[in-house]
Amino acid sequence: MLEQIDLTKKMSKKEFKARMEQLEPELSRLQRTCREQKLPVIIVFEGFGAAGKGYQIGKLIHALDPRGFTVYSVGSETKEERMHPFLWRFWTKTPARGHIAIFDRSWYRKVLIDRFEKVTPDPGLSEAYKQINTFERQLTDDNTVIIKLFLCIDKKEQKKRFDKLLSSKSSAWRVSHGDLKRNEKFDEYKNMNDQMLEHTDTDYAPWTLIESMDREYATIKIYTAVISAIRRALAGHSETMPSAKTTQNRQTVSFQDNILRTSSLKKADLSLDISRDEYRKKLEHLQKKIAALHGEYYRRRIPVVIGFEGWDAGGKGGAIKRLTEKMDPRGYQVFPTASPNDIEKVHHYLWRFWEHLPKDGHIAIFDRTWYGRVMVERIEGFCTTAEWQRAYQEINDMEHQLYQHGALVLKFWMQIDKEEQERRFRERMDNPDKQWKITDEDWRNREKWDEYEKAVDEMLVRTSTTYAPWIIVEGNSKYYARIKVLQTVADAMENHLKKK
């Protein structure tokens, strides 16, 4: 999940102030409603050292009635705690109905710091993830709302903050030896965090990533996440909610807000381009390289799954054509994904993709994929909210099974901007050979650009995993885009081979 995060997010003091004027009273109101409705709430703060957990907890409780919440700061296990099952100290701290428990670090310590310090041995990891998920599921099944916030900063920023803290006697104690070690080995520790997020981002207790380079931005995002989650839970919890008042406010506190999105999609530099000459040269080189790798994959019986998604006219077809041009046709297959046919419709939505998974040594390329569930099906209402929310995990599970089986799994998002799309649509309409490629539906989808952007953002964050990453392809230049796709495939095939 962390690969897709855009850490450049900022917010001006003025906007911050204006938003907080809405958010604080809203959260206060919601706390009162939670108490009336007897809804228990758990808020978990996790994230990198010096990302501002303490500061943000201070900001959050500012809006809360102190009689209704408790903050727990979670350190190493005490001697007493070690003499119990690991979740004992958290079970005993679960909030009463109507109360809020805020955790500054939590049970995730077990699979993060304690893993890094080798207190938790690697063979115990999968059991720990299982116990954590079971814990959260049992509580949410019992109507507890669990809101999990992960505060992110980058290595450089962390170092800067540590240095600042260390420079003064009054704050130096806040930086531990462990903190510095985790900064030194930032990438290793980040990878542990990424694995943790992958194992525990569930439909019943999802993570929200909080970009925390800028304090004000982070505060707003935290408030928004907490408010949305509680509101959703109250709506499900009781018919009496939401009141007219909170509905009015919906506009201000919603992830509809462009600025509160998480992925780096918006940051894609669509001006990237290469010359025709460079394109030709690289294309030939990469096609040969991939063909050679393909042979090696066949020989060693390693399957490959490559998915293509992107805006209509984003260049999926062109990229797939170049990718496969020099491949041995007996070793790969391209599956275009249209609306499900009658047989597919009476099966699970993943069934038709399972049918087409490649056998060992083969490459399966999907032109549009199972991600339709969380894009078109979500937006057009072809499935219920519960269904598409559940789908992130279902899809991750499927891709993880492929990975476990030995497969290389890659997913490309072909990104273009709205203007470029219009240009391409018009070009298609004007060209008799390409008219078949453009339908009324394409124009209709285009009208829902914003809705799609929101869905894509969530999809990229929730399903970009260490074992099956998303690659955003800057697609305004077809040359650039195709080379990026081929280069990525070649590199990934090479790296995957080395790990074998």
Binding site for a second copy (CB under 8 A): 38, 80, 82-88, 91-92, 94, 96-98, 126-127, 130-131, 134, 138-139, 141-142, 144, 301, 303, 343, 346-351, 354-355, 357, 359-361, 390, 394, 397, 401-402, 404-405, 407
CB-count burial class (<10 Å; 0-12, 13-18, 19+) for 215: middle
- Ramachandran category for residue 381: left, alpha or beta (phi over 0 → left; psi -120 to 50 → alpha): left
CB of 354 to a second copy, least distance (A): 4
Which residue lies nearer to a second copy by CB, 127 or 450? Answer: 127
Which residue lies nearer to a second copy by CB, 402 or 490? Answer: 402
Distance CA(300)–CA(349), nearest Å, equals 31
Closest CA to 262 of 354, 149, 407, 123: 149
CB of 341 to a second copy, least distance (A): 12
Q: Are 464 and 405 in contact (CB under 8 A)?
A: no
Distance CA(105)–CA(400), nearest Å, equals 27
3-state secondary structure (DSSP) of residue 101: strand
CB of 277 to a second copy, least distance (A): 42
Distance CA(358)–CA(380), nearest Å, equals 30
Which residue lies nearer to a second copy by CB, 62 or 82? Answer: 82
Q: Are 6 and 262 in contact (CB under 8 A)?
A: yes
CB of 39 to a second copy, least distance (A): 11
Which residue lies nearer to a second copy by CB, 94 or 333? Answer: 94
Strands 304-310 and 332-336: unpaired
Which residue lies nearer to a second copy by CB, 10 or 130? Answer: 130
Contacts of residue 330, defined as CB under 8 A and 6 or more positions apart, other chains included, come to none
Does the CA dihedral 62-64-68-72 come out positive or negative?
negative
Which residue lies nearer to a second copy by CB, 338 or 386? Answer: 386
Contacts of residue 281, defined as CB under 8 A and 6 or more positions apart, other chains included, come to none
Tokens of 394: 């279902």
Which residue lies nearer to a second copy by CB, 244 or 346? Answer: 346
CB of 101 to a second copy, least distance (A): 11
Backbone angles phi, psi at 468, to 5 degrees: -155, 75
CB of 97 to a second copy, least distance (A): 4
CB of 360 to a second copy, least distance (A): 4
Contacts of residue 13, defined as CB under 8 A and 6 or more positions apart, other chains included, come to 216
CB of 498 to a second copy, least distance (A): 22
DSSP calls for 4-57: GB-TT----HHHHHHHHHHHHHHHHHHHHHHHHHT--EEEEEEESTTSSHHHHH
Closest CA to 40 of 108, 139, 106: 139
CB of 210 to a second copy, least distance (A): 28
Q: Are 345 and 314 in contact (CB under 8 A)?
A: no
371 DSSP 8-state letter: G
Which residue lies nearer to a second copy by CB, 114 or 211? Answer: 114
Tokens of 255: 């992830």
Which residue lies nearer to a second copy by CB, 37 or 264? Answer: 37
Q: Are 469 and 384 in contact (CB under 8 A)?
A: no
Which residue lies nearer to a second copy by CB, 303 or 310? Answer: 303
CB of 496 to a second copy, least distance (A): 16
3-state secondary structure (DSSP) of residue 483: helix
DSSP calls for 129-153: HHHHHHHHHHHHHTT-EEEEEEEE-
CB of 132 to a second copy, least distance (A): 11
CB of 362 to a second copy, least distance (A): 8
| Three-state SS annotation for 230-274 | HHHHHHHHCCCCCCHHHHHHCCCCCCCCHHHCCECHHHCCCCCCC
Which residue lies nearer to a second copy by CB, 88 or 255? Answer: 88
Which residue lies nearer to a second copy by CB, 134 or 258? Answer: 134
